[in-house]
Structure 1
């Protein structure tokens, strides 16, 4: 009986600890990640991004080269500071054949459009699931999905350009610039079905993770591209890009899930409302002090 009592006490402690963890912030994040099948969703996003990204970059590279501007390969080489054989492998991946004079065929354009649309819809569905929103109507979902993807690419380019221009000293400007952009972006992906009070914590979290991931990309991705290009040649560059996109996809899935749970946690405790109210009182107060 004593052994049975000890087993029962340990079982009760285990159940209590399990229930506490499930109610905790990390437990809710893990449960939400499991409910939306976060691992497979990240892999799907990475695959769809690769299918849409490589043809899109090749097409854009062809259009830019006709105008005498920098090709997409040159942009990647400059962004990751690639040199030597690694830079040559990237140029070979995006280079057009010497005798290629034809433009993009109608079938190729339709496939490219379908790939981009599929990726934008998957990205939108990720935020809808993470934020527990029902699927938007088809037409509205298509418009907001494409709009959200275009806005996201513009955000990445703008923030990356500011970081490249200002260097480490521009981190504060990147933070101030990224937070409102992510508020708008998440709201677009959700079809406007979220308030500022809920979006702000998620936007701050996503901004911080985005900047850390960008810093990591500048340090590790060039090394990864160099290794894969040395081992496998031009196709190794594609392998490295896929690995990079998988990491980016996991970042998107993770920030979507944790951002929502963080927003709920702060809203339930009234923290976001207090911060916004404090900021609202501080600005007029500062203005009153500056008035003659």
Structure 2
């Protein structure tokens, strides 16, 4: 309950009580006249105090009830979403497996075979990513101190080696390095890796890809920036959603789940993900995580 609201709500009661006490402690020559009025004011003060307490308690109860209702609604929506992903996984997995089996025993000279195989492989990967996304929302998560600087340097080395790119890393060392965060090191690696891999995918070999780490207001901020193709303004708001892809990204392979996985992982760590981009100039993705306790 807000302390200022309590003080403001109690002011009328305090005023009445002070007035009653003043009237009751006046000199004896006026006590006969003042006492009845003072008694009435004391009674009024008690009534006002009782009403104030009831009002404050009721208001707090209503706020808690509203908060619980919102949490229940959010939990129900999340559960329904997970059930949808599970159904989708079940419905798609068997047909894809059957198609891939048929391709495997078909005549290799069939012209359309390569295309069918490529598309079923893509669908299988999409189903796998959807399953992973659904599991991430509820699976038990390790919570240990994690050094974000180590995560960043490991991701830069992994993605840089895989794609032959020079990824710049800027981390603070003075007056102190980045503080640790609490979470699952493998999941946090995956989140940063997905963002950096996206930056490399949608930029050319001569473009810049940077990872920067800073501490700000009790949070660790990891920024991944590139001078690649950028995202059209109309698509920026939706790229963190499942299966969403920018309109200028259709020429590159992808499921549209990479950044959705990032958002889910960061949400489970109590953090936030934001995307800033200008088409033709580049993109910056910022991951903010609370500093670890202890």
Q: Normalising by structure 2, report the TM-score.
A: 0.25
Greater helix share, 1 or 2? 1
Greater strand share, 1 or 2? 2
Highest CA radius of gyration, 1 or 2? Answer: 2
Q: Normalising by structure 1, report the TM-score.
A: 0.25
